[in-house]
Amino acid sequence: MRFLTSLGGAAALGLVLSSQAFALDEIKFATNWLAQAEHGGFYQAVADGTYEKYGLKVEIVQGGPQAASRALMLAGKVEFYMAGNMLQPLNALAEDIPVVEVAAIFQKDPQVLITHPDAGLEKFEDLAKLPTIFMGTDGFASFFQWMKSAYPGFKDEQYKPYAFNPGPFLADKQSAQQGYITSEPFAIETEGGFKPQLFLLADYGFETYSTLIEGRKDYVEANKDLTQRFVDATIEGWYNYLYGDNAAANELIKKDNPEMTDDQIAFSIETMKSFGLVESGEALEKGIGCMTDEKQQAFYESMVKAGVVKDGIDIKSIYTTEFVCKGVGMNLKK
């Protein structure tokens, strides 16, 4: 108090606020894959100082094939993790892993089935006529079980392992291949020399949120102000990445992942916009990151029907809408 008196009220207050401004809360955020445009809003908020504006110093810990990103969060080595979609927290709930989703950056899961344009397929259910669908084991255990439930006609015999190489699909015109709509179609256009036909599962009923911000329950409960600031700054980062100058963010992405190209980044950004991955549904009116109980319940019920998850669990324990749907950052959209 004598310190404040000797400096004078206004001057002292200014000094205190200035010192507080530099005392940034440090956060580590772990992604679930190598750096790419689909992580752009997070990198944008680092690159343009948005996190600092919210009193945060954020380090992005890049994921990848050998990365145990979620385990790092559970061990307290990082504060937040990027969950792929709602199946991850649903599985965590079944295993009593204490996580909670605090924001859904993608309103739509990017999972897509890719076909040849001259395969004679007009509707999603027409894919049941194909003898072969290349899928990973996780896809077979999740979205393919939903496909069989929601669209009778799909059969286990269609499944062939997908080795993350488009070669077998390119060689077989009567096949489909799984992928992320922001990534694999670009590789197929580049290698195959044709524009493939795309069936985004989210547009046919596989309505899970994706690219979620996940934290440990105890950490989020004990750090609500910090969590809110991280969510708000990230949302602003996404608006700025999609509609502002994203050059610096893209350079950070390429620094973390040198194999990423400008053409791939541009394709991914355009695809995110044109298919409404980030902005559709409730996010159009209430802002990026929004989640609703209705959509969460509908997806859960569809997974129960498909036999992917168990019935009778309390799904509201694995997500909260407390930090989202507030229109944050919508003024930044140009």
Examine the fold and report which residue of 177, 204, 231 is the final residue of a domain before the chain moves on.
204
Q: Which pLDDT score, from 0 to 100, does residue 334 have?
A: 73
Check whether residue 72 and residue 127 sit in a common domain.
no
Q: Which pLDDT score, from 0 to 100, does residue 2 have?
A: 34
Tokens of 76: 């307290």
Check whether residue 90 and residue 103 sit in a common domain.
yes
Contact 87, 99 (CB under 8 A): no
Check whether residue 102 and residue 222 sit in a common domain.
yes
Check whether residue 116 and residue 200 sit in a common domain.
yes
Domain presence at residue 284: yes
Contact 7, 15 (CB under 8 A): yes
Tokens of 124: 């999603």
Burial, 17: exposed, middle or buried (Cβ in 10 Å; 0-12, 13-18, 19+)? exposed
Domain, as residue range, for 171: 111-204
Examine the fold and report which residue of 174, 204, 234 is the final residue of a domain before the chain moves on.
204
Q: Which pLDDT score, from 0 to 100, does residue 22 have?
A: 65
Positions of the chain with pLDDT under 50: 1-20
Examine the fold and report which residue of 182, 204, 226 is the final residue of a domain before the chain moves on.
204
Domain presence at residue 8: no
Kindly report the backbone phi and psi dihedral angles of residue 329, in degrees, each rounded to the nearest multiple of 5, phi listed first.
80, -5
The count of domains in the chain is 2
CATH number at residue 192: 3.40.190.10
β partners of residue 83: 212
Check whether residue 102 and residue 86 sit in a common domain.
yes
Check whether residue 165 and residue 199 sit in a common domain.
yes
Domain presence at residue 18: no
Check whether residue 247 and residue 325 sit in a common domain.
yes
Handedness of CA 79, 84, 90, 95 (dihedral sign): negative
Domain presence at residue 1: no
Q: Which pLDDT score, from 0 to 100, does residue 5 have?
A: 36
Q: What's the half-sphere exposure (Cβ side, CA atoms, 13 Å) at 176?
A: 29
Domain presence at residue 268: yes
Domain presence at residue 93: yes
Q: Which pLDDT score, from 0 to 100, does residue 19 have?
A: 40
Check whether residue 281 and residue 212 sit in a common domain.
yes
Q: What is the reported pTM?
A: 0.91
Residue range 193-209, pLDDT digits in tens = 999 999 999 999 999 99
Give 108-143 as a DSSP string: S--EEEEE-TTS---SGGGGGG-SEEEE-HHHHHTH
